[in-house]
Chains A and B, each alone.
Chain A
Amino acid sequence: MDAFEAIKVTFFQECDELLAELESKLMLLEQGQTDLETINAVFRAVHSVKGGAGAFGLEALVRFAHVFETLMDELRAGRKPCDPVTIKTLLRASDVLADHVQAAQGLVPEVDEARSAGLVAEMELLTHGGEAPAPVVEEDEDDFGFTPMAFDMALDEPLAPLPEPASGWRIELRPHGRMYASANETGLLLRELGRLGPTTVVLDDSQLPALDALAVEEGWLAWTVELHAAVDEATVREVFDFVEADCDLTLTPLGAPAEADFVFEEEGPAVLPAGDDLDIAALLARVQGEAVAEPLAPLSAPEAAPAAAAAVPTPASTPAPAVASAPTAPAPVTIRVDLDRVDRLINAVGELVIQQAMLSQRVLESGLARSSGIALGLEDLELLTREIQDSVMAIRAQPVKSVFQRMPRLVREVADMTHKQVRLVTAGEDTEVDKTVVERLAEPITHMLRNAIDHGLETPAERLAAGKSPEGTVRLAALHRSGRIVIEISDDGRGINRERVKKIAVDKDLIAADAVLSDEQVDNLIFLPGFSTADAVSDISGRGVGMDVVKRSIHALGGRISISSAPGKGSTFTLSLPLTLAVLDGMVTTAAEQTLIAPLPAIVESLTPQAADLHHVGGLDPVIRFRDTYVPVVDVALVMGFRDAPMDPTQGIAVIVETESGQRAALLLDAIQGQRQVVIKSLETNYQQVEGVAAATILGDGRVALILDVDTLVAIRRSGVRSDFKLAS
């Protein structure tokens, strides 16, 4: 890939960031934060997309961005109000801008031209307020780099002969003080003229005051340069491009009629031979006598007209105030690192953790005293390894913002399709989680948002009838809770129709008709495989996929999902995911000779069950007394199919766990081996989805161990709903 292509890749990456920024700022506008800085931020994002697109000749993108930018320019200048109607248009325009970026990237075949053209028309109408847009647009075309420079005289005088190419130019230059103040320099202008061809330079210091009266930052000198090169006027004028407003400049073709010309008796060559001993006073006198104080009469030659216009003193000599820039925290210093490199590092550190664990185990087995130097050194090594691992994981951590920022568009589109009024509120966009987790969050969140709008929210009419605001609110929030990231999606809609859900579950044989279920258990039935049906799933939220698929994809990430609902008030989906897919603090246990890892965050306590604390209620699994209450006992080996008969609880050990929703249960296991940090190995490739198992790991001694999914285990035990629990081969 050549450098240019590499920059193009950068450009599209940057576009993604800019579009995300655009989206989030437009959201602020929508929420009424229409301050100048927010409007400016929107302008900048569109402007940057346009700037890069121009560099790569992405014309359709440039054209659309240009119209967008022009409207933003009106808004930030305060010439047009940033009202709700305009903001709605801007939001839709940002969607189409994103489409244009995708099309330019070749990700989608082409943009919906009608939609794009419609928005262009809409934005132009807003920009020009219904008036004929012609003059403004014409001016704006300058943006594309066309600067009128040469005059085409033939248009006015069709019969005039083409001007003979001049053999050279006489350039008369009188710099103003402002020219020097902008760090332009006469010497450099003369040098540039010298690059065009041979020159003779004559200095005029007739206006120069005496030293004690000299205002040193004003321009008092003038130069006349004869350039002997057959170049066109534009080429010469280009040298003075930056300074035309800050100097008097006259260009006359050499050999042109000398009506306003001055004849210099002596050329005054720029470079005099060494030893040419001239008297300075005499020289000054001579130059004074030759030079003319006033610049050439501007009307003498057609070419002089633009120069005369340019020579008008610039009106903008007062310093313009900088655009208000809120003092914000300095941008953090960052480097961009190829993800492969980070992943190699993470893998290596993962191996390091395993090696360190194995080494510790060997040392332990060798019978060395715990206080021995080697054992103590190993402890330090473990701490250090842990620290390295944390630091490495932090490299991969990213805010969920990138996913959250895609959602407003989705919400708008689903709201349009379902004819509902929806306000999306987001919180916790800066919550960080492993990059892989961030990437895989998009799909389940998308699905649940669709679901919330399509099924959760009522139509405006229904809401009004229920005494609610016609506009429904969907809230998307992220937060950290006990070492995991929690995503909450809540709506203020109608809540789950439990009667209907229960009926569907019974009809589909998912539960017994006489099953006694708590409200919460009923709500969670919607996650059962096979619950969703074609008629329960609309185009929008379903796309033929049920909530069970969402649940499965969350499980694949080692996450859990639950729902709580209040009839008439709304529902909340709660997703909980590990912060990283790579490591886990676990308790190593055994059950029926299988090594199982219980995630440490879920564990409350472990105890040895006493017969007196155990009770059998109605012939079901026993419950155990724990801190003045009774919690159900889950015989893990039995539930997972490792053993056919239940074990005697007093022969094992009970690990009290708490689920995401706060329910407690006692996992009955054979023994506890200890605590350790485990590296999660590719859970999806090695194992098919097994209920009760979240992932797998390799222990220090090389054994494979399964990591328990506490919530699922407890849910299986409580609901009595069972599916296929066999370990995949």
Chain B
Amino acid sequence: MSKTVLTVDDSRTMRDMLLLALEEAGYTVIQAVDGVDGLETLAAKGADVVITDINMPRMDGFGFIEGMRADPNHRTTPVLVLTTESDAEKKSRARAAGATGWIVKPFDPVKLVDAVRRVAA
């Protein structure tokens, strides 16, 4: 059975690009548009790996990851942060929130799939 990846991004373009790359690699993709939607989707459907944007309305990526980690069911679900900001501050904030890893935008589909594979149990 293929693994399920939840992508959380307010940009339709990004969601589409992630969908394209991940489905091509054989993953099942479910989507959410912001942190709040992400937490609800995760609670309702679950996921093997999560990819989230940082800058989103309503609830940003940091809040989303913290929310995820507060849920015993998703303390160990790998979550990759997707952002153009690769600077140390963003990374360490994401890590402090509980992020497993990151993907730098604009992403190379191969590297994206690679990163997902690396963290997927």
**A/B: CB atoms within 8 Å of each other:** yes
Produce 1/0 per residue, A181-204, CB < 8 A to B: 111110110001000000000000
Closest chain A residue, CB of each to CB of B75: A183
Produce 1/0 per residue, B82-112, CB < 8 A to A: 0011110000110111111110111100000
How far, in whole Å, are A323 and B64 apart by their CA atoms in the complex?
Answer: 11
How far, in whole Å, are A422 and B49 apart by their CA atoms in the complex?
Answer: 52
How far, in whole Å, are A7 and B106 apart by their CA atoms in the complex?
Answer: 14
Closest chain A residue, CB of each to CB of B68: A183
How far, in whole Å, are A184 and B110 apart by their CA atoms in the complex?
Answer: 20
Produce 1/0 per residue, B56-95, CB < 8 A to A: 1111101100100000000111110000111100001101
A530 at the interface (CB under 8 A from B): no
A515 at the interface (CB under 8 A from B): no
Of the listed stretches A41-49, A607-615, A684-692, chain B binds A41-49
B44 at the interface (CB under 8 A from A): no
A109 at the interface (CB under 8 A from B): no
B57-A41 in contact (CB<8A): yes
A-B pairs with beta carbons under 8 Å apart, 24 shown = A7-B17, A41-B57, A47-B55, A51-B11, A51-B14, A51-B105, A52-B13, A54-B84, A55-B14, A140-B87, A142-B86, A145-B107, A183-B76, A183-B100, A184-B100, A242-B118, A314-B95, A316-B95, A320-B62, A322-B97, A325-B60, A325-B63, A328-B58, A331-B34
A289 at the interface (CB under 8 A from B): no
A188-B34 in contact (CB<8A): no
How far, in whole Å, are A10 and B13 apart by their CA atoms in the complex?
Answer: 6
Q: A182-B99, A325-B60 are known contacts. Are A55 and B17 too (CB-CB below 8 A)?
A: yes
Find chain B residues with CB under 8 A from A185 CB.
Answer: 121
How far, in whole Å, are A681 and B121 apart by their CA atoms in the complex?
Answer: 61
Produce 1/0 per residue, A243-262, CB < 8 A to B: 00110000000000000000
Q: A330-B36, A331-B33 are known contacts. Are A319 and B97 too (CB-CB below 8 A)?
A: yes
A122 at the interface (CB under 8 A from B): no
A48-B10 in contact (CB<8A): yes
Q: A183-B75, A320-B97 are known contacts. Are A145 and B104 too (CB-CB below 8 A)?
A: yes
B119 at the interface (CB under 8 A from A): yes
How far, in whole Å, are A12 and B95 apart by their CA atoms in the complex?
Answer: 33
Find chain B residues with CB under 8 A from A11 CB.
Answer: 13
Distance from A487 Cβ to chain B, minimum over Cβ atoms (Å): 29
Closest chain A residue, CB of each to CB of B12: A14
B98-A181 in contact (CB<8A): yes
How far, in whole Å, are A160 and B37 apart by their CA atoms in the complex?
Answer: 55
How far, in whole Å, are A443 and B11 apart by their CA atoms in the complex?
Answer: 30
Find chain A residues with CB under 8 A from B79 CB.
Answer: 183
Partner of A14, one of B13, B85, B86, B120: B13
Distance from A649 Cβ to chain B, minimum over Cβ atoms (Å): 62
How far, in whole Å, are A541 and B25 apart by their CA atoms in the complex?
Answer: 56
Distance from A548 Cβ to chain B, minimum over Cβ atoms (Å): 42
A14, A44, A182 pick with most chain B CB within 10 angstroms? A182
A283-303 residues at the B interface, CB under 8 angstroms: none
Distance from B8 Cβ to chain A, minimum over Cβ atoms (Å): 13
B11, B36, B107, B120 pick with most chain A CB within 10 angstroms? B11
A50 at the interface (CB under 8 A from B): yes
Bin chain A's interface residue count: 35 or more
A54-B60 in contact (CB<8A): no
How far, in whole Å, are A29 and B118 apart by their CA atoms in the complex?
Answer: 43
How far, in whole Å, are A328 and B84 apart by their CA atoms in the complex?
Answer: 26
Q: How many residues of B contact A (CB 8 A)?
A: 49
Find chain A residues with CB under 8 A from B11 CB.
Answer: 14, 48, 51-52
Find chain B residues with CB under 8 A from A214 CB.
Answer: none
Partner of B77, one of A48, A183, A330: A183
A4 at the interface (CB under 8 A from B): yes
A3 at the interface (CB under 8 A from B): yes
Find chain A residues with CB under 8 A from B93 CB.
Answer: 316, 320
B92-A315 in contact (CB<8A): yes
A47-B37 in contact (CB<8A): no
Find chain B residues with CB under 8 A from A366 CB.
Answer: none
A319-B66 in contact (CB<8A): yes
How far, in whole Å, are A87 and B120 apart by their CA atoms in the complex?
Answer: 45
How far, in whole Å, are A50 and B85 apart by their CA atoms in the complex?
Answer: 11
How far, in whole Å, are A413 and B11 apart by their CA atoms in the complex?
Answer: 30
How far, in whole Å, are A318 and B119 apart by their CA atoms in the complex?
Answer: 23
A241 at the interface (CB under 8 A from B): yes
B43 at the interface (CB under 8 A from A): no
A182-B57 in contact (CB<8A): no
How far, in whole Å, are A183 and B98 apart by their CA atoms in the complex?
Answer: 8
Produce 1/0 per residue, B10-22, CB < 8 A to A: 1111101100100
How far, in whole Å, are A257 and B92 apart by their CA atoms in the complex?
Answer: 35
A147 at the interface (CB under 8 A from B): yes
How far, in whole Å, are A698 and B101 apart by their CA atoms in the complex?
Answer: 64
Find chain B residues with CB under 8 A from A98 CB.
Answer: none
Distance from B100 Cβ to chain A, minimum over Cβ atoms (Å): 4
Distance from A686 Cβ to chain B, minimum over Cβ atoms (Å): 39
How far, in whole Å, are A333 and B54 apart by their CA atoms in the complex?
Answer: 22
Q: A51-B14, A54-B84 are known contacts. Are A323 and B96 too (CB-CB below 8 A)?
A: no
Find chain A residues with CB under 8 A from B75 CB.
Answer: 183
Q: A11-B13, A47-B55, A52-B14 are known contacts. Are A184 and B86 too (CB-CB below 8 A)?
A: no
- Contacts A11-B13, A245-B92, A331-B58 known; list 7 others, CB within 8 Å: A7-B16, A51-B106, A143-B84, A188-B118, A188-B120, A316-B96, A330-B36
Find chain B residues with CB under 8 A from A315 CB.
Answer: 92
Q: A48-B10, A323-B62 are known contacts. Are A182 and B95 too (CB-CB below 8 A)?
A: yes
Q: A183-B77, A322-B62 are known contacts. Are A7 and B92 too (CB-CB below 8 A)?
A: no
How far, in whole Å, are A184 and B99 apart by their CA atoms in the complex?
Answer: 9
Distance from A439 Cβ to chain B, minimum over Cβ atoms (Å): 21
Distance from B115 Cβ to chain A, minimum over Cβ atoms (Å): 8
Find chain A residues with CB under 8 A from B104 CB.
Answer: 145, 147
Q: A55-B17, A145-B106 are known contacts. Are A319 and B59 too (CB-CB below 8 A)?
A: no
A331-B84 in contact (CB<8A): no
How far, in whole Å, are A323 and B100 apart by their CA atoms in the complex?
Answer: 20
How far, in whole Å, are A382 and B12 apart by their CA atoms in the complex?
Answer: 41
Find chain B residues with CB under 8 A from A372 CB.
Answer: none
Partner of A316, one of B17, B92, B102: B92
Find chain B residues with CB under 8 A from A47 CB.
Answer: 55, 84
How far, in whole Å, are A51 and B18 apart by their CA atoms in the complex?
Answer: 13
B86-A245 in contact (CB<8A): no
How far, in whole Å, are A43 and B63 apart by their CA atoms in the complex?
Answer: 18
Find chain A residues with CB under 8 A from B57 CB.
Answer: 41, 44, 325, 328
B96-A142 in contact (CB<8A): no
Distance from A97 Cβ to chain B, minimum over Cβ atoms (Å): 16
Find chain B residues with CB under 8 A from A331 CB.
Answer: 33-34, 37, 58
Across chains A and B, which 10 residue pairs bring their CB atoms closest together, nearest first?
A322-B63, A242-B101, A54-B106, A316-B92, A11-B13, A52-B13, A55-B106, A183-B100, A316-B96, A183-B78
B92-A314 in contact (CB<8A): yes
How far, in whole Å, are A182 and B100 apart by their CA atoms in the complex?
Answer: 5
Distance from B19 Cβ to chain A, minimum over Cβ atoms (Å): 9
Partner of B86, one of A40, A51, A145, A318: A145
Partner of A44, one of B20, B55, B105: B55
How far, in whole Å, are A509 and B35 apart by their CA atoms in the complex?
Answer: 66
A4-B20 in contact (CB<8A): yes
How far, in whole Å, are A57 and B92 apart by their CA atoms in the complex?
Answer: 28
How far, in whole Å, are A184 and B34 apart by their CA atoms in the complex?
Answer: 24
